[in-house]
Structure 1
Amino acid sequence: MARFTKNRWTSAIIPALLIHIPIGTVYCWSVFKQLIADQLHASPASVEWGFSLAIFFLGMSAAFAGPMVEKNIKKSALISMVCFVAGFAGTGVSIALGFLPGVFICYGAIMGAGLGIGYLTPVKNLMLWFADNRGLATGIAVAGFGLTKAIASPVMEYLIGSIGLVNMFYTLAVVYAIMMLVGFLLIRRPAGWVYDPATSYVSRVSILKKPVFWGIWLAFYINITCGLALISQEKDILHDVLKAFPQYAPLSPSAFAAAISGIIGLVLAVDSVLNTAGRVGFSTLSDHLKRRETVYQVIFVISIAVCLLQVCTNSIDRALLWAVLMMLFLVNAGYGGGFSTLPVLLDQHFGTKTVSTTHGLTLSAWAFAGLSGNQLASFVVTHAPDQAHRYAALIPVLIVLFIIALISVSLVKAAGKRVAVA
């Protein structure tokens, strides 16, 4: 056993972070999307497709890259680095040329492919190196993806202010290339592990035929969709709540905007921290539970409870701020926890030998949620009968979706128990 634990930090955790931290900057899109729109004389709505395509290609590339990751982790790490860095730098070139389709191609398709392959690459490796604490290991690595926004956003803002938007892309492309190259050089499987095609290969069709897979896929998809729907409305939610506070009434429009901006900045920072804490905390909790589905049940019950709490306080006293913040923070933590707990849940049902393939296929839910989450929120708030508090119409929809997700994962848990008994 000692040979499997020797150097596991330098062979698994550190390279995972060196890969996941750069690709996690996809969540920093809001820092520069308006600047891209201004520089290319395009509407923010049209530019937004760059991010949507990045998430879509992330999920779809992961869905197809699983077997490659199973077979050759070095190859997948290298391909991820090349695609991500080329796409990130290419985005800068596209902006410099004033070519919006180039942003879609580079940031969306090329960088998106690097995101998916890079996200998938370290996961099984961590589960092999940390066989006794698989949830904790994957949680720590995936936490790097979630925490990046808090770290990289101020760095990007500083670079944009000092050297400009295009040069920011070039500079960080070099930094990320170095980080991911070191990750590529360090990452390796445990000594004694050998790829066995006979046991490691699994037909994607056979996986897709299993109802358990679709139960997990649906629960994962709903968790991401609800998280993105709520996150996309955070500014409007806080604006609607705070404008009802009497202490803000005397403020001029500019002073009110400044106050809102400061509060939103603080909330987003806390969101990032709690997203990261959720990734580590929920996955670590799964290590101490008999059934991994229990963590998803906890996530969905908490999410339903805080959404119901917000609805109740809104009907009683104009949406108390503490209830709104509790909803935002805990749903965000569960959003992060759903990502980190997914690999060990799939391991429980399909086995470690094929986890890269099953994990990749399940991440296709991320691709579709990336397209549907924001659109769902936009549709609901646009058609809300009370436009003064249009965000409130979104909460009941989220409650219904979380209930469906809870039912889905509960059925998966029941099926797993039957198999275990048999």
Structure 2
Amino acid sequence: MAKNKYLNGVLPMALINFAIGSVYCWTLFKADIWAHTGFGPAVTSWSFSIAIFVLGMSAAFGGKLVEKNPRRSAFWTFVMVTLGWFVTGFGIQTRSALVTILGFGVIQGIGLGLGYITPVKTMMIWFDKRKGLAAGLSIAAFGVSGVLINPLVAFLLDRLAVYTAFYALAAIFGVGLFAAARLLWRPPASQEDMEAEKSVATATFSVRSVVLSKKFVFLWIVFFLNITGGLALISHEKQLYNAAGQTAMGMILLFVMVTAASNVIGRVALGAYQDRTANKHQPFYVMTIVSIAATAFAALFADSITVTFGLVIVIQFMFGVGFACIPNVLHQNWGISRLSTVHGLILSAWAAAGLVGNQISSFFLDGPGAQYLYLTLVVLYSLQLVALFVWVRVRTTDRVEAERAARREAALV
């Protein structure tokens, strides 16, 4: 059968993200897990935090596998995610906190990291002229998945014991991920991409040289700070609304749905915009400057529920922009051949931010208050802007030096 972008690109991408995006449904299980096991909030909190940390680190170490054979990485996504949900269910059934954390945090976390980066490069090659939109859609699907799976989780928990629901979801996700591993196929990169790659010196590529380069380090800092700021608000969204005077659960749920939609729109909209720009990092200026302005304004009106709600909408939007636009920035600076490897490496920023962002908001919301949190985020986003300016300068210097080296080589020939 002839390969095509929808059957061998879009469909497996959707199936993979349908399964791995379920990590955001963890909060729906907490009450049932506590009731069945007697676990305290610490167990479920650590399960989720470890899952996000392992996601980032497994993406960092799994990039080479995705680069070499995306179908194999899709297969291992199937194995680890399915096994992770099954082991989590077993841990809950046997009331073992260690097994629960191992299943959801570690085993499933490995599958999340591999699954997150597996379809991105494939989508960008299939949709060669709309790489930004392709990356944005792939990464947006991860966020949309949680919204789509919520009703399924609620349906299962109404009819099954909580651990049986985990077994059922392991089977459902397993079928979809196995199909994705069979369907996924990445075509060769275009001649245009291969020609453009010559200007970024991938012949001398090594993980060590990338990680130690100033160009990577400052981009990592930009990405880390943006994720940290986003997680600082998202992880305590309900508490922020409570602090501003909104306690009605119905309104809070509506706010959460709207802000989640803003995240998805940011990923798709700025990903599409990125395709129209020569310098793929331009959306990062928008992301950073708007975040500074929004947090500074919120610090002046921290007690206003309207301002708080507006702030979270803006930061959710910009949070999505960072994730959606980073693949195309990496493509422009390191080339298509090593995109998955570098994408995995940069996602280690997500692992680090997952440990920091939540702690920042906990410290301020449990103590000094939301206003001081917002002022701290103004400083954080200002540092992000400084890092972005430095990164652009380093990138420009590297490009000029590469062009000079190419001219010298051409003269010798």
The alignment's TM-score, normalised by the length of structure 2, stands at: 0.90
Is structure 2 residue 189 aligned with structure 1 residue 155?
A: no
In the alignment, is residue 332 of structure 1 matched against residue 316 of structure 2? yes
1:158 deviates by: 2.2
Partner amino acid for 1:295? P
What is the rounded CA distance, in whole Å, between the counterparts of 1:336 and 1:304 in structure 2?
A: 16
Decide whether aligned partners of structure 1 residues 79 and 193 sit closer, same or farther in structure 2, where only a CA change above 3 A counts. farther
Deviation at 1:352, TM superposition (A): 1.0
The 8 Å contact of residues 227 and 353 in structure 2, kept in 1 or not, is answered as yes
CA contact (8 A) 1:310 1:323 kept: yes
Question: C-alpha distance in 2, partners of 1:200/1:30?
Answer: 46
Counterparts of residues 181-330 of structure 1 (less than 5 Å): 181-190=178-187, 202-242=205-245, 260-314=248-302, 319-330=303-314
Q: Which residue number corresponds to residue 25 of structure 2?
A: 28
The letter of the residue matching 1:280 is V
Question: Which residue pairs with 1:60 in the alignment?
Answer: 57
How big is the shift at 1:128? 1.4
| d(CA) in 2 for partners of 1:412, 1:405 | 10
- Whole-Å Cα distance in 1 between the matches of residues 207 and 68 of structure 2? 15
Q: Distance in 2 between matches of 1:227 and 1:233?
A: 10
Which range is displaced more, 296-305 or 184-193?
184-193
State whether residues 20 and 142 of structure 2, in contact with CA within 8 Å, keep that contact through their aligned partners in structure 1.
yes
**Stretches of structure 1 lacking an aligned partner (at least 5 in a row):** 244-256, 385-389
Q: 1:354 aligns with which of 316, 338, 342?
A: 338
CA distance in 2, matches of 1:290, 1:393: 38
SS at match of 1:98: coil
Q: What is aligned with 2:408? A: none
Matched, 1:379 2:358: no
Distance 1:320 1:379 in 2: 21
SS of residue paired to 1:295: helix
CA contact (8 A) 2:189 2:336 kept: no
Distance 2:170 2:340 in 1: 27
Give the whole-Å Cα distance in 2 for the aligned partners of 1:193 and 1:416. Answer: 24
Deviations 1:12-63 (A, max 9, x none): 1221111112101111121112332332212102321000110111111111
Q: How far did 1:410 drift?
A: 2.2
Question: Following the alignment from structure 1 to structure 2, what is the Cα–Cα distance between the partners of residues 404 and 170?
Answer: 45
**What SS does structure 2 have at the residue aligned with 1:151?**
helix
Give SS of 1:367's match. Answer: helix
How has the CA–CA distance of structure 1 residues 79 and 410 changed in structure 2, closer, same or farther, with 3 Å as cutoff? same
| Percent identity for Structure 1 against Structure 2 | 34
User: Aligned residue for 1:177?
Assistant: 174
* 1:105 Cα deviation from its structure 2 partner: 0.6
Closer, same or farther in 2 for the Cα pair 1:192/1:407, shift >3 Å? closer
Displacement of 1:293: 1.6
Helix, strand or coil at the partner of 1:133: helix
Residue identity matched to 2:374: I
**Aligned-partner Cα distance in 2 for 1:306–1:144:** 26
CA distance, structure 2, for counterparts of residue 276 and residue 49 of structure 1:
26
Matched positions, count: 392
For residues 156 and 166 of structure 2, the distance between their equivalents in structure 1, rounded to whole angstroms, comes to: 9
Give the 3-state SS of the residue equivalent to 1:242 in structure 2. coil
Question: Which secondary structure does the structure 1 equivalent of 2:23 belong to?
Answer: helix
Q: Once superposed, what is the RMSD of the aligned Cα atoms?
A: 2.1
* TM-score scaled by length of structure 1: 0.88
1:54/1:108 contact within 8 Å kept = yes
* Deviation (angstroms), 1:336: 1.4
Mapped to 1, the partners of 2:17 and 2:349 lie a distance apart of 19
Quote how far apart the aligned CAs of 1:190 are: 1.2
Tell me the amino acid that sits aligned with residue 33 of structure 1. K
CA distance in 2, matches of 1:313, 1:192: 50
Q: Is the 8 A contact 2:74 2:115 kept in 1?
A: yes
For residue 244 of structure 2, give the secondary structure of its aligned residue in structure 1.
helix
The alpha-carbon deviation at position 294 of structure 1 amounts to: 1.3
Residues 64/191 of structure 1: CA separation in 2 closer, same or farther (3 Å cut): closer
The letter for the 2-side match of 1:383 is: G
Please give the per-residue CA displacement for 1:379-400, whole angstroms capped at 9, x wherever unaligned. 222331xxxxx22221111111
Tell whether the 8 Å contact from 2:202 to 2:335 is kept in structure 1 after alignment: no
State whether structure 2 residue 407 is matched by structure 1 residue 404.
no
Distance in 2 (CA, whole Å) between partners of 1:370 and 1:327 is 20
Write the letter of the residue equivalent to 1:227: G
**Shift of the alpha carbon at 1:127?**
1.7
